[in-house]
Amino acid sequence: MLAAVRRSSSHAARRFYKETGIAAVDDGYQITLDGRALRSPARRALVLPSEPLALAIAAEWDSQLEKIEPAAMPLMSLAATAVDQIAVDRKDTTRTVLKYGKNDTTCFFAGEADEPRLHQLQLEHYLPLLEWVRAEFDVRFEPGFGVAHRPTNDETLRPIEAFFEKLSTWELAALQSATQETKSLVIGLALLAHKLDASQAETVARLEEQVQIDRWGFVEGSHDYDVTRIRFRLASASLFRDFVVSAAAAAAAA
């Protein structure tokens, strides 16, 4: 999968270091390149919350060949987003993620008469998630059938917005990535809470596309890229979240 997302570019920076490592600091762990602390793309201190996350990102840097390919470093990308974007303007990230809840993928159901198979799959996959969100956050998303759908209003989403305040910058980075990739706040929340794993989240997010593939066939150079991208990004967001939460759990138990 890594080879599939790696894209060579004449503009990519050449690898300028020989050795990668990590170093423990007061607030967490830093990546080192030839003994020097790695900073974020915006030149901010990059202090990671857990040793497993630091080791994983160091491995991404170590896996770079002659040129540095950011697309092949998803965990680094998520960490940079947390430090350079979310920590700087958390409200903007909150607004961005909440927007997906207004027209959530899981609220759009195909008409039974026009698309019976897709309609049935959506009932099987979407309704349990909508019920889970209602029970977990006291938020009721109203599904629409066919073209009938009313956007979810801001007031309805308030409990989820309040939940965001409990998330660390790192968790919010994982949630934002999963939500944007699936076009669904509901699926993003379910992945964050382990209600869905990455494979299940991919399946739910791609129901309509998969039905089209089953009907018309798999198009190489299009569908294969889409599948690889969503699988890669959801797995990365899930792994990133697990590394972060494990650190928080360990700190709470200490």
Reported as a single tens digit per residue, the pLDDT across 75-99 is: 999 999 999 999 999 999 999 999 9
Residue 85 belongs to some domain of the structure: no
Given this model, what pLDDT does residue 123 score?
Answer: 96
Over 80: is that where the pLDDT of 223 sits? no
CATH code at position 36: 3.30.2180.10
Find the mean pLDDT for residues 114-123: 94
Specify whether 104 is located in the same domain as 179: yes
Specify whether 114 is located in the same domain as 230: yes
Q: In 3-state terms, what secondary structure has residue 46? A: coil
Residue-wise pLDDT tens digits, 22-38: 999 999 999 999 999 99
Specify whether 165 is located in the same domain as 64: no
Residue 84 belongs to some domain of the structure: no
Given this model, what pLDDT does residue 145 score?
Answer: 82
Residue-wise pLDDT tens digits, 131-188: 999 999 999 999 888 766 789 999 999 999 999 999 999 999 999 999 999 999 999 9
Specify whether 126 is located in the same domain as 243: yes
Contacts of 134 (CB under 8 A, 6+ apart): 140, 141
Given this model, what pLDDT does residue 8 score?
Answer: 46
Range of the domain at 208: 90-253
Query: What does the alpha-carbon distance between residue 57 and residue 190 come to, in Å, rounded to a whole number?
Result: 25
Over 90: is that where the pLDDT of 245 sits? no
Shortest CA distance to 75 belongs to which of 50, 99, 95? 50
Specify whether 95 is located in the same domain as 61: no
CATH code at position 137: 1.10.3580.10
Residue 33 belongs to some domain of the structure: yes
- Write out the DSSP string of 78-141: HHHHIIIIITT-HHHHHHHHHHHHHT-GGGEE--TTT-HHHHHHHHHHHHHHHHHHHHHH----
Two structure tokens written together for 112: 């039974």
Burial of 199 (0-12, 13-18, 19+ CB in 10 A): exposed
Over 80: is that where the pLDDT of 213 sits? yes
Two structure tokens written together for 22: 């990590």
Overall domain count for the chain: 2
